[in-house]
Amino acid sequence: MANATISRRTMLFAGSAVVLAGGLAGGAYFRVNAKTSGDFEVTHTEEEWRKLLTPQQFAVLRQEDTERAFSSPLNDEKREGIFHCAGCDQAVFSSKDKFDSGTGWPSFTRTLPDAVGFKKDYMLIFPRTEEHCSRCGGHLGHVFDDGPAPTGKRHCINGVAMTFKPSGVS
């Protein structure tokens, strides 16, 4: 009987390790459908969102996918200006709060006031805090507690989920 328990435990542990490894290696393939309508100022049907957004924007903003690290030109954006949600054009981050986190995604120490909402995300087994545009509900990225002063936060944002408007350009 003891051998059967150990065998089951070993199999359960091994199976969990395989699932975790698969999730970490291919996390972009595990998608959760984001809210596409509801209590947001900007709402569209899934079909309308698909027409308004590129396939990659739709995957990130509406299906909570993650773009490949170091793939966004906004990661290297250094000009002064404002980053907007690519789904609804709401201003979400200021270039004054942008920093190079070395992670491969645009990172910020804070959001603009009332620009985002937060929810828990358990897609990688451990909880993370997910960020969504407060105007359209689009998934932007995640926030972590390992950023620089003054906030100690690192808002790690998918570049494809944003557009950039340099200062002086409307």
The DSSP result for the chain, as a single string, is: -HHHHHHHHHHHHHHHHHHHHHHHHSGGG---PPP-SSSSSS---HHHHHHHS-HHHHHHHHH---PPTT--GGGG--SSEEEEETTT--EEEEGGGEE--SSSS-EES-PPTT-EEEEEEEEESEEEEEEEETTT--EEEEEES---TTT--EEEE-GGGEEEEETT--
Torsion angle of alpha carbons 7, 8, 9, 11, nearest 10°?
A: 90
85 is catalytic: no
* Residues that are catalytic: 156
